[in-house]
Chains A and B, each alone.
Chain A
């Protein structure tokens, strides 16, 4: 395996700079309590002005009155490292962000897909530059070696284990990223490089420097396996857009919505998944929020369709207070099976597939508006059918019975007609004793004075008090 290590020397600063309109202006990250503000990191133009990390804020402002400062957020660093791990996942399936301030990824497996190392390296650098992150990249047969080399010299690459060993042997201990402060201590003891270190007796090294140093060296040189914690893409989607102003109209929400849906679909296509259920959360001033729930009958990942469905639901939601931020949350991202479309499909080219049409209808008419029907085995007419929601349910064949009407009334109603003619009947129905809804009726087919063909029943044995239950339409 060959590992590339991307060291991000000023991750927190880059994360701030990339959202500023003018990254060239002097800027520093500040940390510490109000009385003891110090600079955590400075950008290039601030450094030119004589500022250094660790400097007191008062001194910095005396040197450079135009200095802009942003509060240093330690969590942001971890967040952006995760973001870059997700980005690196596009180039390799083995990505680790376990060491702070850097990303390691296995690249040999990507050679066949993306080309030789120089091409991959150029690609990584170009994308990082576009994203706005200062970086140093090195490649070596072990991840730890790659990390050490990246710290030594940007662009160093070595693919042969023997060459790597020779290179590592000359690395000063202080710069070999040894665990804890052992690098400093070894340096002070007069041990200059890794070769000298490796020649020392292992037992006494372990006694003096703890149990961590030797395994670290073994992994660094590739003498022991290095079990990294690999990055796994998140199994949910959560994105938020702050609007920056208060929005009261639906139309103004559509642009950020389109961006959120676009991000969701990108995430879905990276995961090769779909989404079936998600929440669009409108955040209002204060703690108030409005949730717009979107539920689809099948997993989808078509941006235009998801946008349209969400837009329809959004437009039917009333906005009680101005919206200041929007958040899209999708907890379940199930596998997505694209609907197979026949190459020789005879339908018109702009034809909408049924699942998409169905979601459009459900979005406007309500989740329960579209369904199918299926017969059941129950002899009571009102229970001899059921609704079928979704795609999967199997539709059985109804047991053979005398003709049934195509229309059933939701509830039987009295049928009053002076000129009823009995066409056929009675069909005695006696059933339901087992669940307490006993039915004992005689069903007839009748013709009304207006020429309708009715299905009506009376109490068993009677010829009066017709109750209409269906129409033979």
Chain B
């Protein structure tokens, strides 16, 4: 029965939200390395082949600490990591101390008008396991392109932006916003957004 199979696969892909019923939690996400955060997310981790948006009140609130375990693990497995137009110098001793294999971490400097292009190229290429980007200007259409690129390149995409964009809709599969008490899920594909916040153990 192909029709049923298609419906099943749609539900399994969790692109549909089955209203009124909690989705059977599957664990096909990419583990974040933070057990409490994994528990919060419907896929038990970062959505694969998708864009995750981190909304920040300011730089240096622990956004990299949130990503480090995942980046370190992907790098250890031989995946290529790319940073697109980072706002400061990634400080080699600290990244190494966080467990990142600096041999596979590539920093890509790009002017604001080229940053989105470079971001999309890296996501789409299939050459990278994870791409983290700080584009200055990105509208909904640009995010849509990035989301599609992450899907076709089978890549984990992380976009870090100012919190003021939280009010605008976004095609990202997962949106986390840093509030005073930690990270709040603003949107997640595959289920209603959990109300609890996630506060990682600070250093």
**Known contacts A352-B125, A406-B98; is-contact A375 B110 (Cβ 8 Å):** no
The stretch of A221-229, A285-293, A451-459 in contact with B is A451-459
**Known contacts A410-B89, A454-B60, A471-B59; is-contact A348 B153 (Cβ 8 Å):** yes
Verify B58–A406 contact, CB threshold 8 A.
Answer: no
Verify A404–B126 contact, CB threshold 8 A.
Answer: no
Verify A471–B88 contact, CB threshold 8 A.
Answer: yes
Pick from B64, B89, B128: contact of A385, CB below 8 A.
B89
Q: Which residue of A lies closest to B129 (CB)?
A: A347
**Known contacts A368-B109, A373-B107; is-contact A407 B88 (Cβ 8 Å):** yes
CB neighbours (8 Å) of B36 from chain A are none
Chain B residues 67-116 with CB under 8 Å of chain A are: 68, 80, 86-98, 102-103, 105-111, 114
Determine how close the nearest CB of chain A comes to the CB of B45; give it in whole angstroms. 18
Verify A370–B90 contact, CB threshold 8 A.
Answer: no
**Known contacts A361-B118, A405-B94, A453-B62; is-contact A370 B106 (Cβ 8 Å):** yes
CB neighbours (8 Å) of B63 from chain A are 473
Residue-wise, chain B 150-176 has the 8 Å CB interface mask toward A (1 for contact) of 001110000000000000000000000
Q: Is A200 an interface residue (CB 8 A)?
A: no
CB neighbours (8 Å) of A361 from chain B are 108, 118, 121-122
Residue-wise, chain A 381-419 has the 8 Å CB interface mask toward B (1 for contact) of 100111000000001011001011111111000000000
A471, B109: Cα distance in complex, Å: 19
Verify B60–A453 contact, CB threshold 8 A.
Answer: yes
Q: Is B193 an interface residue (CB 8 A)?
A: no
Q: Is B61 an interface residue (CB 8 A)?
A: yes
CB neighbours (8 Å) of A364 from chain B are 114, 117-118
CB neighbours (8 Å) of A397 from chain B are 96
Residue-wise, chain B 26-47 has the 8 Å CB interface mask toward A (1 for contact) of 0000000000000000000000
Q: Is A258 an interface residue (CB 8 A)?
A: no
* Interface residue total, chain A, C-beta cutoff 8 A: 50
Pick from B90, B95, B96, B180: contact of A451, CB below 8 A.
B180
Q: Is B57 an interface residue (CB 8 A)?
A: yes
Verify A451–B58 contact, CB threshold 8 A.
Answer: yes
Verify A357–B60 contact, CB threshold 8 A.
Answer: no
A-B pairs under 8 A by CB, number: 160
CB neighbours (8 Å) of B122 from chain A are 357, 361
CB neighbours (8 Å) of A356 from chain B are 127
CB neighbours (8 Å) of B59 from chain A are 407, 452, 471, 473
Q: Is B65 an interface residue (CB 8 A)?
A: yes
Verify A352–B102 contact, CB threshold 8 A.
Answer: no
* Interface residue total, chain B, C-beta cutoff 8 A: 48
Verify A384–B92 contact, CB threshold 8 A.
Answer: yes
**Known contacts A365-B118, A372-B106, A406-B64; is-contact A453 B203 (Cβ 8 Å):** yes
Q: Which residue of B lies closest to A387 (CB)?
A: B107
A221, B87: Cα distance in complex, Å: 79
Verify A398–B154 contact, CB threshold 8 A.
Answer: no
Verify B60–A407 contact, CB threshold 8 A.
Answer: yes
A17, B110: Cα distance in complex, Å: 53
Q: Is A80 an interface residue (CB 8 A)?
A: no
Q: Which residue of B lies closest to A352 (CB)?
A: B125
Verify B88–A352 contact, CB threshold 8 A.
Answer: no
A405, B202: Cα distance in complex, Å: 13
Most B C-beta atoms less than 10 A away, residue of A347, A398, A407, A453: A407
CB neighbours (8 Å) of B202 from chain A are 453
**Known contacts A350-B126, A352-B126, A371-B107; is-contact A410 B88 (Cβ 8 Å):** yes
Pick from A365, A373, A472: contact of B114, CB below 8 A.
A365
CB neighbours (8 Å) of A354 from chain B are 80, 106, 125, 127-128
**Could you give 26 example pairs across A and B, Cβ below 8 Å?**
A347-B154, A348-B153, A351-B125, A357-B127, A365-B109, A365-B110, A365-B111, A366-B109, A370-B107, A371-B109, A372-B103, A375-B93, A384-B92, A398-B92, A398-B96, A404-B91, A406-B68, A406-B90, A407-B60, A407-B64, A407-B88, A448-B58, A451-B57, A453-B202, A470-B88, A470-B91
Q: A365-B114, A373-B89 are in contact. List 8 more A-B contacts (CB 8 A).
A: A351-B127, A357-B128, A361-B118, A361-B122, A365-B118, A407-B90, A408-B88, A409-B88
